[in-house]
Chains A and B, each alone.
Chain A
C-alpha cells in the first residue's frame, strides 16, 4: 500500500516537473526565454517587466504570429541572485530549448548567466545591465545589451557639468562596476574630452552608517564648483546629511540613475532636493514604439510602465523576435546563431522603419517574407546594436522641482569613446 502511494507521488511529481519545464508550449510555437527577478530585492521590477514582455507577445500574436506561428514567451525567476539566474537560464536552454534569452536587471547576474550558460551554449542573451564590462566579455557576439550603459550616462553627466560652466568637480561613487563605470566615463568626458579638472574621485562602499571621510575628500573643504554623486538612494541620504552638516549643500550636485526615486525626496525633503541640478537615467525614445509601449501597457495593466529600464527590456525582446522572423526558419529549428546573425540587420539601416505595434509587426513580418530589410526603432532608442553588442539607447535627464521629479529631455548621446577610457574598458 505504502509503496504504491510513493510510486503515485513520484509519478505525479515527474509529470508536474516535465509539464512545468516544457511550459506546455505547442510544437509549432516560436519560443523565447526571459529571466527576470520575480522574487528578491528587485521583484517589483520583475513583475512590471514581465507584463511588458507579455505585451510584446500579445502584439506579435495579434499580428498573426511570426510567419503564422505563435510566439510563446517562457519566463523564469532569477531571484535577484547570480546562482538562481544561472539555473533559470540553464533550464530555458536545456529543457525549453530556446534560442535566445532576454533578461536580467543587474550586471552581476547578467555576467554570471552569459559566461556560465548562454555563451557556451551559443544562445543569444540580451540583457539590461549598465556595466561597461558587459561590452568586453569574450562572447563570440552572443551577448547583447538593450539598455544605455555607463559610457552613455557618464557622457551625459560630464557634458552637463561642463556646459553648466563648472571648472573643478568632485566625484563620489559606489565602488562597484556600475558606479566606477559612470565615474570613469564622466571623468573622461569632463577632463579629456573637455578641459575641466576632476579634483577628487572617491569610491565608497555601500551600507555604511557614515560617509564623513569620503564626503570631506570629495568636497575638498568646499573648494569645488560641483559634485557628481553616484550612489543608491540609501547611501546618498547618509551622504547628504554629511554634506549639509558641513554646510556644503549650496554646492550644486549631479546624480546617477538610481536617485530618480521619490524615496530620496521623502527622506531629504523637497526643499533640499532643489539643490540637484540634473541626473541621468535610461531614457525613452519618442515615437510610435514608445506610444505603443506606454499606452498598450496602460490599457492592459491600468498604469503606465513604472520603471525606466522596462523600455529597453521591451525593445530587447522585440529585436529578438524580429531576428527570428528574419532567419526564416521554422519553430524548433531557430538556433542562437540565427538570432545573432539577424539581430543587427533588423534594428539598423538599411530598411523600412518598423515600430512595435500590431500593424508594425504585421508589416515587418510581411516585408521579411518578401526578403526586404527592416529597421526597428524602439521605445528606448534607435536600438542599433554596435560591434560590442550594445544598443543605441536614449538617456533621459531629469531634475527635481517642488518635490517632483521632472524630465528635462531624452537624448541619444555619443558614448564616451573607448580609447579614451582606462585600459580595462578596451576590448581585447
Chain B
C-alpha cells in the first residue's frame, strides 16, 4: 500500500519536471505546448543516443554512472537548441503577426506528429533502456520497494525545483521573465528585451523537459510514446498548480502521481472486498481526470491558489 505512494511520488516528480517545462512556455508565450510531451521523449532518446558514444562509467550505490549525467547535459543542450529553433522558425513569426492562439495549438500539434515520426524513424518502436538488467532495490517497512535510481530521481527533482524557484523569484533575470509575463510592453520599455526572455524561457523549458525525459528513461524505460502518455498528467500539474506556479506544479504533480498509483490501489481493494468487478488498471488516468474536474470546479485557480507570478 505504502509502496504505491512511493511509486506515485516517483511518477509525480517526473510529471512535475515535464509540467514545469510546459508551464514556462505557457507563462510567457501564453499557449499550452502540446509538443511538450514529445520533446520529453526526444530528450530521453537524445541522451540514449549520446550514451552510445559516451562510456557509462559507474557511481557508488546507483546503477548509472557519470556517463548518464554527461548525456543528460548534452541532451539538455541539444533539446534547448532544437526548441529554440522551433520557437524561432515556427512560433516567432506567429507572434509577430499576432496570430490567433488556435494557430499556436495547431502548430504545436503538427510538431508533435512530426517529432514523433522522427523518433520512430531514427530509433524505431522497440523499447530501450539506459541500463540493462534489473536494479538493486531497498526493501523498507510497509512494503516499500525503492531503487537507488528512483531515490536519485526524487531527490534530484526536489533540488531542481528548488533551483528553478530560486532563479525565478530571487534573480534579476527570473524576475524579468515574470515582468514580461505580466506586461510585455511595459517590460520592453523597462529595458527587458522580449526576444531574450523568449529565448531564456525556451532554454529553461528545454532543460527541464530533457531532465524529465531522462529521469523517466532512468526510472522506467524509453519508448516512443512515453511523453505522450504523460501529457495529460503534465497538463493536470500545470493547470492545478495554478497556471504554473512552481511549487504549485510540484504539489499538483505529486498529487496526480499519488492519485494514480495509490488512489487506484485503494479503490481496487475496496472494489475487491465488496465484490464489484471493476479493474482499476484501466482507470488510473480517469481517476486523475476526475480529480482535475473536481479541483477546477471547486478551486478554479488551482489547488494552491497562487499563480506563477504570485508564487
Q: State if A and B touch, Cβ cutoff 8 Å.
A: yes
Rounded to whole angstroms, the CA-CA distance of A18 and B120 in the bound complex is 32
Verify B120–A41 contact, CB threshold 8 A. yes
Q: Is A269 an interface residue (CB 8 A)?
A: yes
Q: Judging by beta carbons under 8 Å apart, are B127 and A214 in contact?
A: no
Looking at the complex, which of B53-61, B100-108, B220-228 is the stretch in contact with chain A?
A: B220-228
Q: Provide the residues of chain B in CB contact with A11, threshold 8 Å.
A: none
Q: A212-B4, A241-B134, A271-B133 given as contacts; is B280 within 8 A of A233 (CB)?
A: no
B230 to chain A, nearest CB (A): 8
Q: Which of A244-291 contact B (CB under 8 A)?
A: 244-247, 249, 261, 263, 266-269, 271-272
Closest chain-B Cβ to A170's Cβ sits at a distance in Å of 14
The CA of A205 and the CA of B127, in the complex, are separated in Å by: 17
Interface assignment of B194: CB less than 8 Å from any CB of chain A: no
Whether a CB of chain B sits under 8 angstroms from the CB of A210 is: yes
Interface magnitude class on chain B: 35 or more
Q: State whether B229 touches A207 (Cβ < 8 A).
A: yes
Instruction: Contacts A263-B128, A267-B129 given; indicate if A212 touches B134 (C-beta within 8 A).
Output: no
CB atoms of B281 and A213 under 8 A apart: yes
Q: How far is the CB of B42 from chain A (nearest CB, A)?
A: 17
Q: Which A residues, 97 to 129, have Cβ-Cβ distances below 8 Å to chain B?
A: none
Instruction: For A40, give the chain B residue with the smallest CB separation.
Output: B120
Give the residues in chain A near B3, CB-CB below 8 Å: 212
User: A166 at interface (Cβ–Cβ under 8 A)?
Assistant: no
**Contact B284 A205, beta carbon cutoff 8 Å:** yes
Given that A210-B7, A269-B133 are known contacts, is A203 also in contact with B279, CB under 8 Å in the complex? Answer: yes
Indicate if A209 sits at the interface (CB-CB under 8 A): yes
B297: CB under 8 A from chain A? no
**If A41-B120, A234-B221 touch, does A263 touch B137 (CB 8 Å cutoff)?**
no
B residues within 8 A CB of A175? 279, 281-282
Is B127 a contact partner of A233 (Cβ separation < 8 A)?
yes
Counting chain A residues whose Cβ lies within 8 A of the other chain, the interface size class is 35 or more
Tell me, in angstroms, the Cα distance from A214 to B261 when the chains sit together: 11
Q: Is the CB of B225 within 8 A of A238?
A: no
Whole-angstrom distance from the CB of B184 to the nearest CB of chain A? 37
- Report how many A-B pairs have Cβ atoms within 8 Å: 97
- Which residue of chain A has the shortest Cβ distance to B120 in the bound complex? A41
Q: What's the Cα separation between A205 and B216 when bound, in Å? A: 18
A209 touches B11 (CB 8 A): yes
Residues of chain A within 8 A (CB-CB) of B225 are: 207
Give which listed residue, B4, B11, B126, B282, contacts A213 with CB less than 8 A.
B4
* Pairwise interchain contact A266-B132, C-beta atoms closer than 8 A: yes
Point out the residue from B11, B129, B219 that lies within 8 Å of A237, measured CB to CB.
B129
Q: A197 — which chain B residues lie within 8 A by C-beta?
A: none
Cβ A244 vs Cβ B279 within 8 A = no
Interface centre among B120, B134, B230, B279 (most CB of A within 10 A): B134
Q: Does B145 contact A (CB under 8 A)?
A: yes
B147 within 8 A of A: yes
The residue of chain A having its C-beta at the shortest distance from the C-beta of B127 within the complex is: A234
Q: A207-B225, A269-B134 are in contact. Are A213 and B280 (CB under 8 A)?
A: yes
Asked whether any CB of chain B lies closer than 8 Å to the CB of A344, the reply is no
A268 touches B132 (CB 8 A): yes
Question: Of the candidates A207, A212, A271, which one forms a contact with B7 in the assembled complex, judged by CB atoms under 8 Å apart?
Answer: A212
**A179 smallest CB distance to B (angstroms):** 12
Contacts A209-B216, A268-B133; A202 near B261 (Cβ below 8 A):
no
Name the CB-closest residue of B to A262. B126
Q: Which residue of B lies closest to A237 (CB)?
A: B221
The residues of B that contact A249 with a CB separation of less than 8 Å are: 134
Produce 1/0 per residue, A27-61, CB < 8 A to B.
00000000000001110100000000000000000
Assess whether A212 is in contact with B261, with CB atoms less than 8 Å apart. yes
A72 in the interface (beta carbon within 8 A): no
Return chain B residues, CB-CB under 8 Å to A214: 281
Q: Does B135 contact A (CB under 8 A)?
A: yes
B37 to chain A, nearest CB (A): 12
Tell me, yes or no, whether B125 is within 8 Å of chain A by CB.
Answer: yes
Closest Cβ–Cβ distance, residue B44 to chain A (whole Å): 13
- On whether the beta carbons of B137 and A245 are closer than 8 Å, the reply is yes
Interface string of B1-45 (1 = CB under 8 A from A): 001100100110010000000000000000000000000000000
Q: Which of B132, B147, B229, B282 contacts A267 (CB 8 A)?
A: B132
B14 — nearest CB in chain A belongs to which residue?
A209
Residue of A nearest to B15 (CB): A209
B199-239 interface bits toward A, Cβ cutoff 8 Å, 1 = contact, 0 = none: 00000000000000000100111010100011000000000
Contact status A205-B282, CB under 8 Å: yes
B254 → chain A closest CB, angstroms: 14
The listed residue (A42, A203, A213, A244) touching B265 by CB distance below 8 A is A213
Would you give the 0/1 interface string for B139-154, flagging 1 where the beta carbon is closer than 8 Å to chain A? 1000001010000000
- In the bound complex, what is the Cα–Cα distance between A323 and B240 (angstroms)? 62
Decide if B268 is an interface residue (CB 8 Å cutoff): yes
Contact B281 A203 (CB under 8 A): yes
Further contacts, 15 of them, CB under 8 A, given A213-B4, A234-B127, A237-B127: A40-B120, A202-B281, A205-B284, A209-B14, A209-B220, A211-B281, A212-B7, A237-B129, A244-B137, A245-B137, A249-B134, A267-B132, A267-B221, A272-B133, A272-B134
17 CB contacts below 8 A, A to B, read A41-B125, A203-B279, A203-B282, A205-B284, A207-B229, A209-B11, A209-B14, A213-B265, A217-B268, A234-B127, A237-B129, A238-B220, A244-B134, A263-B127, A266-B132, A267-B128, A272-B134
